[in-house]
Amino acid sequence: MAEIKSTLELAMERTKKYSVSEKEKEEIKQKEILQKAQSLSSRYMAGYLPLNEVLREMEKMEEKIGRKIRELLLLQFIDGLSFEGEPDQLIKGIEALRGRSIDEEKQAFFGLLTQYRERKEKIEKEWRDKSLASLKKDGIFGSAVEPCLDENPLRTKEAKETEERFQPEMEKLKERLKKS
């Protein structure tokens, strides 16, 4: 009598002639490394994984893989620096991955961030004052009146121009961090 083969056995017979090339194996390995780095980064940034645990995870890995993940995390943290949000966690991560302080770059970054935020606040105040004055002319005033500045295309344009003005300095700073 003929032997009944399982689905798995049939699948194995059909795929015997297919094999994964070295190039494909390397691509799979690189994707796995990237996914691991993204996972560590996401968990760290969300506050689920403390920085010392991130470093411990990398120490457990094969040296070459750990080094690659360290490089990827470093690039992700540097690229994550922006004018929005709180950068403290990113800065701590960069310093930990570098194994040293980045005082000069940190000082430059926070100086640039302060300049940007002060300029942005000044623009917001000017537009708010203009909007309130305009509303007052129309008979709308009082402590409960709050203008919607997001709807003003001129204010939005000015805010975007401010960011564009500061962005080249941010990019230079990121490049310095990547090279140091």
- Which residue's structure tokens are 């942005």? 120
Distant-in-sequence, close-in-space partners of 41: CB < 8 Å, separation ≥ 6: 73, 76, 77
For range 1-19, the mean pLDDT: 67
pLDDT category at 1 given cuts 50, 70, 90 is very low
User: For residue 20, what pLDDT is reported?
Assistant: 66
User: For residue 22, what pLDDT is reported?
Assistant: 80
User: For residue 3, what pLDDT is reported?
Assistant: 63
Q: Which two tokens stand for residue 14?
A: 């059909």
pLDDT category at 5 given cuts 50, 70, 90 is low
User: What's the rounded Cα separation, in Å, for the pair 49 and 38?
Assistant: 13
Per cent of the chain over pLDDT 70 is 93
Domain-wise residue ranges, the chain: 21-101, 103-180
26 or 172: which leads in pLDDT: 172
Q: Residues 2, 38: contact at Cβ < 8 Å?
A: no
Query: pLDDT by residue (tens digit) across 36-50?
Result: 999 999 999 999 999
Least confident segment among 1-5, 87-91, 99-103: 1-5
User: What's the rounded Cα separation, in Å, for the pair 28 and 62?
Assistant: 16
User: What's the rounded Cα separation, in Å, for the pair 135 and 65?
Assistant: 61
pLDDT category at 144 given cuts 50, 70, 90 is confident
* Sign of CA pseudo-dihedral 65, 66, 70, 71: negative
Angle made by CA atoms 124, 129, 134, in degrees to the nearest 5: 125
Query: pLDDT by residue (tens digit) across 16-68?
Result: 667 767 888 788 889 999 999 999 999 999 999 999 999 999 999 999 999 99
Q: Which two tokens stand for residue 75?
A: 């690039």
135 or 12: which leads in pLDDT: 135
pTM for this structure? Answer: 0.78
Least confident segment among 6-15, 33-42, 114-123: 6-15
What rounded mean pLDDT belongs to the chain?
A: 88
